[in-house]
Amino acid sequence: MLTEPKIERRKKQYYAAIRMAVPIPFGKYLEPAYTEVHNWLEQKGVSSGPAIIRYLTTDMSKELDIEVGFTVDKAIKGNDRIITDFLPAGNYATLTYTGSYKGKGVYKANVAIIEWAQTNKIKWSITKKKGVECWDGRVEIYLTDPAKEKDTKKFKTELAFMVK
């Protein structure tokens, strides 16, 4: 199930993550990264918010540049492995998908928001570097913790893509 896409103003959102270049499909790379970031945050005594995937590049014919981690309430210092950064404040196209994190549901949600933006002549906030589109802010926020909610039909994923 998908909500209707909308544009909303968002504040800066800090996060801690592991940056990686991954082939499609990339699901097998996520759990080890989430575990490592979660353990690192716990060791630092930092409470985390929802899990995220930030997409830096999305050229589907190549590896995707992504950051996998968790939102945090404030800026913290990373290390050689764990990066800390933020999604910039600004206007974002958003929608929420309800359903399993596995399978094609989240992918179809991405297709839906992209098609909605095309229909409504909404432009993404991206820059080109050496012919590659680099997103200023594109994130999937996994609002449901599978350790607390076992019914995958109730899982919620929010998509937020920065717009111009």
Is residue 133's pLDDT more than 80? yes
Q: What pLDDT was estimated at residue 86?
A: 98
Q: What are phi and psi of 50, to 5 degrees?
A: -65, 155
* Residues in Cβ contact with 1 at an 8 Å cutoff, skipping those fewer than 6 apart: 97, 98, 99
HSE value, Cβ hemisphere, 13 Å, CA-based, for 10: 22
Give the pLDDT band (50/70/90) at residue 103.
Answer: confident
- Nearest-CA neighbor of 162 among 7, 2, 20, 3? 7
What pTM, to 2 d.p., does this model score? 0.94
Instruction: Dihedral sign for Cα 56, 18, 94, 13, please.
Output: negative
Confidence of residue 130 (pLDDT cuts 50, 70, 90): confident
- Beta pairing, strands 83-87 & 126-129: unpaired
Domain limits, the chain: 6-162
Q: Is the peptide bond before 25 cis (omega within 30 degrees of 0)?
A: yes
CA angle 15-20-21, nearest 5°? 140
Q: Which CATH superfamily is domain 6-162 in?
A: Regulatory factor, effector binding domain (3.20.80.10)
Q: How far is 140 from 30, CA to CA, in rounded Å?
A: 13
Give mean pLDDT, residues 50-79: 93
User: 22-48: per-residue pLDDT in tens?
Assistant: 988 888 999 999 999 999 999 999 999
Q: Are 40 and 15 in contact (CB under 8 A)?
A: no
